[in-house]
Chain A
């Protein structure tokens, strides 16, 4: 009897989304503020500056949020606790600092900083314990959207015996730096003004190496974007316009695979917490919708697709049972969530302001 009651209670609890979701909200871009939604009570707490905050990112243990935010001059990174306490603005060398991403141990942030313009961005690592900034890749410009590689498992899997061979790269030093300080993946700007393109790069403190050149000789023909390593660092999802429209590819130990392969654009891959599923945005229904796929088989499932409205910016619940996203189906951008198996939908926010960039708070790992 007790077991039956436990099952019923568990089923009821699982029927509704729970936890906390950070997002930005505001009537206009200049007023956007990072907020935290308590999903069960629908209570919203403002934790940002309200002066043009960017998309929030949770630390791996769910204790802190990092986001870029407008300052009197330029844009800088802020970190704050989920209740709004202990907020602080990081000290930067450059005026423009964008899109912070946490290291797996939660001690460092990486972001793109502009010494001159967007095309000249450098990858900057901030050590939160020592309050110091370090420019990776020896400070060389042309690195967009840097993200931490959570482990070096993929690097080892790609070439376990022979060592890496990249023209112009000191591979012994590269591997040594990666093992000592970790590694990043970023989008590198290649070519020259008027003929720029993009390519995925592996980054260490002093070096940068084109990752696709390990796997294909065709790496410079297409423009890649949005490198997203899975939580274990065993696979990397990214976008490429190979084939004439944007597709999602996955690099794993067996090589590269096009996992979306549709004539409509597919973009913005987001790994589930267990690293087995990818959520993404696709236009295959005609509008912008949220889908999920199982990369091992490339099977795609609809999650949130509307006839007359768009759904975007998916984020997984910690248990992987729900996806939250933004939709303008009410005429205004609000947050919604769908249970991935049943497509049951819940409207999470009901604010007059526009709500964007949801990020579900991860559960602290023991």
Chain B
């Protein structure tokens, strides 16, 4: 005989299984890769201020909704075709959607998709704010995932407006490591922006899980440009990134401060990208990781001058940094280290 307590327990398990299965069907693809909705996603989210629009990239024209914990809000969107059969949707923020964290829901041709932690609605565009910066989580390296969770937990308690994760998200770029990274990333309550590192390069797995290697966004009066510094000492002037860097850098010129986000800076990253970002229209700041240490006083700028750098030690060692974005520029605070549990 099954008693009442056992029935309640079994009911809870069944409900949890149902939720998990539903999440598996709707949120991204079953294997964790991006589906109908490419961006925004939990690694390339949209932060939207009242009265503004945000862009989504989809593999088909779709009906879109924003979903909070208790309510869904239909989104009106204008679609424009992109190469490869994709569409850019310029989405108007529903006027009744209050500030908060939203999933983006899409339905097209009987298929539905859901990107959680994709859209963050904010009431006001701030002049002063704080950024959380971590890097080199190397998820998949044995016994170190707890450090990344601890860092994100500490950032949840901080006053950061958003978090950037500058590459080496995984240890070998394998799909199961990306899935494990997503599980850790989603413990963060703040918007999280990611870019790829040299350890994440395995076929096109990064693009399958997060979409673009190069993208820009604005927050308050400031502009941010995330880009891929590619593999060691191969000057990648061959692919599409340099064109996008020029287009995005131009688009961010009117911003108060311009900030580059990448995994590392190395003079071997390719001269064309350095001409665009550090010589012709120098970024004001460049944030990166890779070194597993912070930069010294002698390493304050890129060799071309102009662009100031801030390097954060590895999150796998439990380290991260908060930076104040002010009218005087981006001011890094001392590196913090979480206590090992």
Contacts and interface: CB of A to CB of B under 8 A. Distances in A.
A288 B201 contact: no
B329 to A, nearest CB: 17
Contacts of B303: 119, 193-194, 196
B233 A225 contact: no
A28 B234 CA distance: 12
B143 interface: no
Contacts of A118: 233, 235, 266-268
Contact of B268 (A70, A114, A283): A114
Interface residues of A, number: 55
A29 interface: yes
B95 interface: no
Contacts of B85: 331
Interface in A169-206: 193-198
A264 B81 CA distance: 25
B83 A29 contact: no
B99 interface: no
Contacts of A153: none
Interface stretch (A35-43, A77-85, A308-316): A308-316
A356 B239 contact: yes
B304 to A, nearest CB: 5
A96 B233 contact: yes
Contacts of A333: 239-240
Interface string A113-154: 010011100000000000000000000000011000000000
Given A96-B233, A287-B243, A288-B243, A330 B84 contact: yes
Interface in B242-270: 242-244, 246-247, 250, 266-268
A54 interface: yes
B247 A308 contact: no
Given A223-B279, A329-B83, A75 B305 contact: no
Contact of B305 (A30, A54, A195, A283): A195
Contact of A357 (B203, B233, B238, B300): B238
B83 A328 contact: yes
B301 A331 contact: no
B151 interface: no
B136 interface: no
A223 to B, nearest CB: 5
B240 A310 contact: yes
Interface in B219-248: 230-231, 233-236, 238-240, 242-244, 246-247
A245 interface: yes
A317 B303 CA distance: 39
Chief secondary structure at chain B's binding surface: mixed
Contact of B243 (A55, A245, A246, A312): A312
B11 to A, nearest CB: 47
A310 B267 CA distance: 26
A98 interface: yes
A205 to B, nearest CB: 25
B275 interface: yes
B339 interface: no
A308 B83 contact: yes
Nearest to B228: A29
Contacts of A295: none
A114 B235 CA distance: 13
Contact of A283 (B81, B246, B301): B246
A241 interface: yes
B123 interface: no
B325 interface: no
A278 B280 CA distance: 23
B86 interface: yes
B234 A54 contact: yes
B83 A30 contact: no
A19 interface: no
B96 interface: no
Contact of B280 (A194, A265, A308): A265
A196 B274 CA distance: 12
A224 to B, nearest CB: 10
B305 A194 contact: yes
A118 B82 CA distance: 37
Nearest to B205: A28
Contacts of B280: 223, 241, 244-246, 265
B271 interface: yes
A144 B237 CA distance: 14
Interface string A213-247: 00000000001010000000000000001001110
Contacts of A281: 243
A29 B204 CA distance: 10
Contacts of A144: 271
Interface in A271-307: 281, 283, 286-288
B214 to A, nearest CB: 12
Q: Which 9 pairs across A and B sit closest by C-beta, in order of nearness?
A: A331-B84, A288-B243, A118-B267, A356-B238, A118-B268, A331-B83, A310-B243, A241-B280, A309-B83
24 contacts: A28-B203, A28-B204, A29-B201, A29-B234, A29-B239, A74-B233, A99-B235, A117-B266, A118-B235, A119-B267, A144-B271, A145-B271, A196-B303, A198-B279, A246-B275, A264-B250, A265-B246, A265-B280, A283-B247, A287-B243, A308-B83, A331-B82, A331-B83, A357-B238
Given A32-B238, A118-B233, A265-B246, 12 more contacts: A52-B234, A54-B234, A75-B233, A118-B235, A118-B267, A194-B300, A288-B246, A312-B242, A330-B83, A331-B82, A331-B85, A331-B86
